[in-house]
Amino acid sequence: MKSTSVIIALISVGLWACKDNPTQPPAPEAPVIVSVQMPAAVYQIPIQPAGIHVHVEDPQGVADLAGVTLTVRAGNAVVATLAMADDGQGGDLLKGDGQFYHPLDSTVIKNRTGQLLLEAVATDRGNHASETRRDTLTVLTGKENALPVITAVTIPEIIWSDSSYSPVLLATVSDGDGLATLDSVRLEIYRPAAPTPTWVLALRDDGQSGDGASQDGVFGLRFDPALLKNSRNLYTMILRAVDQAGGISLAEVRTVRAELAACRTNHPPLVSDLSAPTTISRSATPNIYLLAVRAVDPDSSCDDGIARVFFNSFRPDGTPASGNPFAMRDDGQEGDLGANDHRYSLRIQITPQNQTGTYRFEFRAQDRNGALSNTLTHIINVLP
């Protein structure tokens, strides 16, 4: 009998313990804080007012939401208790969308530094409350540094890499903290597809870099084209302004083409030194003959180069051959004696079905700019 009383007493104690220390999840009807958007840190005097956005959903829809209370704590002390708004005003973009907003204004951050604890609780019209969402905010001492802004860039589209002329690159910069706080403009130059800059240079506002007057916000650099080493290429230039506090502006990007001044005028290619038989027989064995010609381009250093070398042939009656034009090759294959030696070749075959008589062959080259060379004309007499 005593043991039964002890068990009943223990059960009673357990029931009272549960009653005195309830641990219950929020009601199913309660709103839910989905996300919080806020900066990790703000200055006591920010450049742009910061704010906190709390996204709330409710099983009964956003129309059932009553509001969001934001409690700001510094240690154990309550700094402020704020009612967040979803009214489409101030920093809240759209009324009644479940996105609640409150500015992180002087009520929260003035005369305070260090870490603050922000506690958000959403409630609905049925007085159901969400779980508390806790986030931290660091308040930094003093005034936020205003980042510089590049407002204008002057860079030529083409730089002649074989010229002695140094073009001036210019960037105009502003800064909310004043021009005296600016340091320089960093210039990074990238070759095509390069992951890192090939050169890193600086534009200065010292009145000695092609920038005009000093300390006027116009930064300049006299660019030495010898840096590009007589190249023909596309380069990407990325400019960023830097202030004395280490603040960096958004990047300005320009594409510059390096060209050779010597390549401003395109010169046509030249064909010469033709090698071909003058008389052949349809019945000869073997009946394959090699035609070869030398082709060069005066602008080969400009990457124009030879695009193709070819010939057209004409029958004894003057009609053109059906296979015109015949492309010649310089790859060391199929009768060509050496690859890339500027001598282009092609083997032809004469059969008993070919007409006898005088055949005319016209040899030409064309460069990548479309310019055609001189014409070399050769006559081959085909005998029975």
Pair (365, 346) in one structural domain: yes
Per-residue pLDDT tens for 127-148?
Answer: 999 999 999 999 998 888 889 9
The pLDDT value recorded for residue 25 is: 59
Mean pLDDT of 318-328: 94
Pair (152, 259) in one structural domain: yes
The region of weakest confidence among 21-25, 43-47, 266-270, 306-310 is 21-25
Tell me whether residue 13 is in a domain.
no
**Cβ neighbours of 140 (radius 10 Å):** 15
Per-residue pLDDT tens for 164-214?
Answer: 999 999 999 999 999 999 999 999 999 998 999 999 999 999 999 999 999
Tell me whether residue 224 is in a domain.
yes
Average pLDDT across the chain, whole number: 89
Tell me whether residue 12 is in a domain.
no
Tell me whether residue 22 is in a domain.
no
Q: Tell me how many domains the chain contains.
A: 3
Q: Kindly report whether the global pTM for this prediction surpasses the value 0.75.
A: no
Pair (133, 161) in one structural domain: no
Q: Is the pLDDT of residue 376 over 70?
A: yes
Look at residues 229, 247, 263 and tell me which one is the last residue of a structural domain: 263
Residue 262's pLDDT band (cuts 50, 70, 90): confident
Closest to 145 (Cα-Cα) out of 36, 273, 241: 241
Pair (130, 69) in one structural domain: yes
The region of weakest confidence among 134-143, 148-157, 373-382 is 134-143
Query: Long-range contacts made by residues 214-219, C-beta under 8 angstroms, separation at least 24?
Result: 215/179, 215/180, 216/179, 217/172, 217/173, 217/174, 217/175, 217/179, 217/182, 218/170, 218/171, 218/172, 218/173, 219/170, 219/171, 219/172, 219/173, 219/182, 219/184, 219/185
Residue 10's pLDDT band (cuts 50, 70, 90): very low
Tell me the chain's radius of gyration from C-alpha atoms.
Answer: 41
Pair (170, 115) in one structural domain: no
Residue 249's pLDDT band (cuts 50, 70, 90): very high
The pLDDT value recorded for residue 338 is: 92
Tokens 């999840």: give the residue. Answer: 25
Per-residue pLDDT tens for 90-124?
Answer: 889 999 999 999 998 877 787 788 999 999 999 99
Pair (251, 274) in one structural domain: no
Tell me whether residue 322 is in a domain.
yes
The region of weakest confidence among 1-15, 139-153, 201-215, 343-357 is 1-15
Pair (94, 155) in one structural domain: no
Look at residues 228, 263, 298 and tell me which one is the last residue of a structural domain: 263
Q: Which domain holds residue 330?
A: 270-382
**Which of the two residues, 4 and 232, has the higher pLDDT score?**
232
Pair (128, 172) in one structural domain: no
Pair (134, 212) in one structural domain: no
The pLDDT value recorded for residue 6 is: 37
Tell me whether residue 16 is in a domain.
no
Give CA separation, 383 vs 249, 343, 366, in Å: 80, 28, 33
Look at residues 242, 263, 284 and tell me which one is the last residue of a structural domain: 263
The CATH number given to whatever domain includes residue 79 is 2.60.40.10
Tell me whether residue 4 is in a domain.
no
